[in-house]
A and B are shown apart, each in its own frame.
Chain A
Amino acid sequence: MKINLKINNINRDIDVEPGEVLYDVLRRCGFTSIKKACGTSSCGVCTVLLDGMPVPSCSYLAVKADGHNITTIEGIKEEADRIGKFMVEEGAVQCGFCSPGFLLTVIAMEREIENPDSQGIKNYLAGNLCRCSGYEGQLRAVKKYMGVSE
Chain B
Amino acid sequence: MNIKKYLRPLNIDEAYGLLQSKNAVIIGGGAFLNLGNREVETAIDLSKLNLNFIEEKNGEFLIGAMTTLRKLETSSFAKENFDGVITKTLSCIMGVQLRNTATIGGSVYGRYGFSDIITTFLALDAEVELCNGGKMSLEKFLEEKIDRDILLKISIKKDNRKAAYINMRNSSADFSLINVAVAMKDNRFRICVGARPKRAKVAYEAMSFINSSEVNEETALRAGEIASTTLQFGGDIRASAEYRKELCKALVKRAIMEVIQ
Asked if chains A and B are in direct contact (CB within 8 A), the reply is: yes
Q: Any chain B CB within 8 A of the CB of A84?
A: no
The answer to whether A126 and B95 touch across the interface, beta carbons within 8 angstroms, is yes
The answer to whether A124 and B94 touch across the interface, beta carbons within 8 angstroms, is no
Q: Mark B11-37, 1 if CB is under 8 A from A, else 0.
A: 000000000000000010011111100
Residues of B at the A interface (CB closer than 8 Å) are 1-6, 27, 30-35, 40, 43, 45, 47, 70, 91, 94-98, 100-102, 172-173
Give which listed residue, B2, B27, B45, B94, contacts A127 with CB less than 8 A: B94
Binds B, one of A38-46, A75-83, A85-93: A38-46
Q: Mark A102-117, 1 if CB is under 8 A from B, else 0.
A: 0001001000000000
Q: Any chain B CB within 8 A of the CB of A50?
A: yes
The answer to whether A59 and B34 touch across the interface, beta carbons within 8 angstroms, is yes
Known: A59-B33, A61-B43. 18 other contacts (CB 8 A): A18-B3, A18-B43, A39-B34, A40-B32, A41-B98, A42-B95, A44-B97, A53-B70, A54-B100, A55-B97, A63-B6, A63-B45, A64-B47, A126-B94, A126-B95, A127-B94, A127-B173, A128-B97
For residue B30, which residues in chain A have a CB less than 8 angstroms away from its CB?
A: 59-61, 64
Of B35, B45, B97, the most chain A CB neighbours within 10 A belong to: B97
B199 → chain A closest CB, angstroms: 22
Closest to A52 in B: B100
The answer to whether B27 and A47 touch across the interface, beta carbons within 8 angstroms, is no
A-B contact pairs, 24 of them (CB 8 A): A1-B6, A17-B3, A18-B3, A18-B6, A18-B43, A19-B3, A21-B34, A40-B35, A41-B31, A41-B101, A44-B97, A47-B97, A53-B70, A53-B96, A53-B100, A56-B31, A59-B34, A60-B101, A64-B30, A64-B45, A64-B47, A123-B91, A126-B95, A126-B173
For residue A44, which residues in chain B have a CB less than 8 angstroms away from its CB?
A: 95, 97
CA distance A17 to B6 in the complex (A): 9
The answer to whether A126 and B33 touch across the interface, beta carbons within 8 angstroms, is no
For residue A41, which residues in chain B have a CB less than 8 angstroms away from its CB?
A: 31-32, 94, 97-98, 101-102
For residue B33, which residues in chain A have a CB less than 8 angstroms away from its CB?
A: 21, 59, 61
* A residues 101-143 touching B (CB-CB < 8 Å): 105, 108, 123-128
The answer to whether B100 and A55 touch across the interface, beta carbons within 8 angstroms, is yes
For residue A105, which residues in chain B have a CB less than 8 angstroms away from its CB?
A: 96-97
CA distance A13 to B67 in the complex (A): 27
Q: Any chain B CB within 8 A of the CB of A58?
A: yes
A50 → chain B closest CB, angstroms: 7
CA distance A60 to B98 in the complex (A): 10
Give which listed residue, B2, B32, B96, contacts A54 with CB less than 8 A: B96
For residue B34, which residues in chain A have a CB less than 8 angstroms away from its CB?
A: 21, 39-40, 58-59
The answer to whether A127 and B96 touch across the interface, beta carbons within 8 angstroms, is yes
For residue B45, which residues in chain A have a CB less than 8 angstroms away from its CB?
A: 63-64
B230 → chain A closest CB, angstroms: 35
The answer to whether B40 and A19 touch across the interface, beta carbons within 8 angstroms, is yes
For residue A42, which residues in chain B have a CB less than 8 angstroms away from its CB?
A: 94-95, 98, 173
Q: A19-B2, A126-B173 are in contact. Are A54 and B97 (CB under 8 A)?
A: yes
B164 → chain A closest CB, angstroms: 19
For residue A1, which residues in chain B have a CB less than 8 angstroms away from its CB?
A: 6
For residue B97, which residues in chain A have a CB less than 8 angstroms away from its CB?
A: 41, 44, 47, 54-56, 105, 127-128
CA distance A1 to B47 in the complex (A): 17
A36 → chain B closest CB, angstroms: 10
CA distance A124 to B74 in the complex (A): 12
For residue B43, which residues in chain A have a CB less than 8 angstroms away from its CB?
A: 18-19, 61
Q: A42-B94, A126-B172 are in contact. Are A56 and B27 (CB under 8 A)?
A: no
The answer to whether A127 and B95 touch across the interface, beta carbons within 8 angstroms, is yes
